[in-house]
Amino acid sequence: MALFVAAVEAGSLAASARRYGRSPAAATRAVALLEQEAGETLLLRSTRKLSLTPAGDRHLAVWREVLAKLRELTPDEAGNPLQGEIVLTAPELFGRLKVMPLVETFLREHTQVSARVLTVNRVVNLVGEGVDLAVRLAPLPDSNLTAIKVGMVRTLLCASPAYLAAAGTLASLKDLDRHDCIGLNAESGGELWTFARADERGARTRSIRVRTRLSVNSAAASIDAALRGYGIIRPRSYQVAEHIAAGRLVRLLVDYEAPIPVHVVFPADRARRGVVRAFIDHVVPTLRRDLTAIEKSAPSPKAS
C-alpha cells in the first residue's frame, strides 16, 4: 500500500521504490499484487506517466487512511526518538511566512521525522488526499474534523506613504473611486471589494467596485507593487505586519477591517499520538503567540 501511494504521489514506480529502498521490480510486484487482490486495474502505466483508474482512485483514499492509522499505532516508547512522516497543508503565503519556519524547527528537533507540505490556495480534502493536518484561514463549516482556533487575521486596506503623498489620503470608502487599486485577479479594469462594519443596527456590508490599474494573481506581487507606490491593496494582516511596523505601508480605514479566524484542523484519529500529535503541540502555541502579537500591534477600530 505504501509503495502504491508513493507511486501515485511521485508519478512513477521507480521514484516510489527509491523512497522505500526497494527495487523498481519490487514496486511493480506490489502494484500487481494489489490489483490481483482488488480484482481490477488500479494504475494505467505508460513510459511517460502513471494515471489512476476510477477503481484506483477509490482504493487510494482507503489505503491512505489505513496507512495513517497504522502510523498512529506505532508505540511511543520513552526515550525513543520520534519517527514517521507528517503531511500538512496551508494557504500559500501563510504557509511560507508562518508555517514553514515551524516545520523546519520541528524537523531540526526530530531528526527521524519527515514532512510533506502543500502550500495551496484551495480547501484540501484531508482524508481523500492523505493529509494529516491543515491550517485554514476562514470560518469553518460543520464537519467531522477537529479544529483548534489559534487566532485571527484581518483583511486590511494599505498603501505606501509615497503613494498617499501623491494621490491624497483616503478619508472614506467613497474616496476609493479616485484612487488606484491593485487587484488580485487575472483581469484588469476593476474589482468588487466588500467591506463590513458593525454599528448599533448590527453588522452591515457594503460592496464597492474599485479601479484596478494593476491586477496580479499573487498576494506577494500585489504587496511588492504597493511598496513601490502603485496603489492601494487589501492584504491580510500577517502578510504586511513587518512593512506596517517599519512604516513602509500605512493602514487605512481600520473601521472596515474584516476579522478572519485561523484554525489548525485535523481528523481526530490522526492526532492521538505520534508525529501528528507532537506537531500540533509544537505549532499551536507559536501560531497563537505570533497572531496575538500582530493583533496587539494594530490600532483597534473606532466605535461607530
Domain boundaries, the chain: 1-73, 80-151+260-304, 157-256
Candidates 253, 181, 174, 252; CA nearest to 211 is: 181
> Residue 199: which pLDDT band, with cuts at 50, 70 and 90?
low
**Whether 132 contacts 277, CB under 8 Å:** no
When comparing pLDDT for 187 and 115, which is higher?
115
Pick the CATH number of 80-151+260-304 from 3.50.50.60, 3.40.50.10490, 3.20.20.20, 3.40.190.10: 3.40.190.10
Taking residues 159-169, report their average pLDDT.
95
Which residue(s) pair with 197 in the sheet? Answer: 204
**Residue 99 corresponds to which amino acid?**
V
Residue 67 pLDDT > 90: no
Question: Mean pLDDT across the chain, nearest whole number?
Answer: 85
Q: Which three cell numbers stand for residue 72?
A: 498512529
**Backbone torsions φ then ψ of 258, nearest 5 degrees:** -95, 125
1-73 and 80-151+260-304 agree in CATH topology: no
Could you tell me what percent of the chain has a pLDDT over 70? 90
To the nearest 10°, the Cα dihedral for 84, 89, 90, 91? 150
* Spatial CA neighbour of 148 closest among 294, 276, 296: 276
- Of the segments 23-27, 155-159, 272-276, which one has the largest average pLDDT value? 155-159
Q: Which whole number is the average pLDDT over 195-210?
A: 72
Band the pLDDT of 302: cuts 50, 70, 90.
Answer: very low
Please name every residue paired with 154 in a beta bridge, in sequence order, or none if there are none.
259
Q: HSE (CB half, 13 Å, CA atoms) of 177?
A: 4
Architecture per CATH, domain 157-256, reads as 3-Layer(aba) Sandwich (3.40)
Q: What are 165-179's pLDDT values in tens digits?
A: 999 989 899 999 889
Correct CATH for 1-73 of 3.10.20.600, 3.40.50.720, 3.30.750.24, 1.10.10.10:
1.10.10.10
Cell output for 250:
500605512
The mean pLDDT value for 173-194 works out to: 83
- At 117-157, the pLDDT tens digits run 999 988 888 878 888 999 999 888 767 789 999 999 999 99
- pLDDT value at 198 more than 70: no
User: Which pLDDT score is estimated for 158?
Assistant: 95
Place of cell 506581487: 221
pLDDT at residue 74, as a whole number: 56
pLDDT confidence of residue 71: 65
The pLDDT of 199-226, averaged and rounded, is: 82
What does the chain look like in DSSP terms, one character per residue?
-HHHHHHHHHTSHHHHHHHTT--HHHHHHHHHHHHHHHTS--EEE-SS-EEE-HHHHHHHHHHHHHHHHHHHHS---TTSPP-EEEEEEE-HHHIIIIIHHHHHHHHHH-TTEEEEEEE-SS---TTTTT--EEEEESPPPS-SEEEEEEEEEEE-EEE-HHHHHHH----SGGGGGGS-EEEESS--S-EEEEEEEEETTEEEEEEEEEPEEEEES-HHHHHHHHHTT--BB--BHHHHHHHHHTTSSEEE-GGGPEEEEEEEEEEGGGSSSHHHHHHHHHHHHHHHHHHHHHHHTSPPPPP-
Judge residue 34's burial from the number of C-beta atoms within 10 Å of its C-beta, 0-12 exposed, 13-18 middle, 19 or more buried.
Answer: middle
pTM beyond 0.85, yes or no: no
Q: What angle do CA 88, 154, 301 make, to 5 degrees?
A: 160
Q: How sure is the predictor about 230, in pLDDT bands with cuts at 50, 70 and 90?
A: very high
Which pLDDT does position 301 carry in this prediction? Answer: 47
For residues 79 and 175, the model is more confident at: 175
Give the model's confidence band at 211: pLDDT under 50 very low, under 70 low, under 90 confident, else very high.
confident
As given in the structure block, the three cell numbers for residue 156 are 486590511
Q: What is the mean pLDDT of residues 36-46?
A: 87
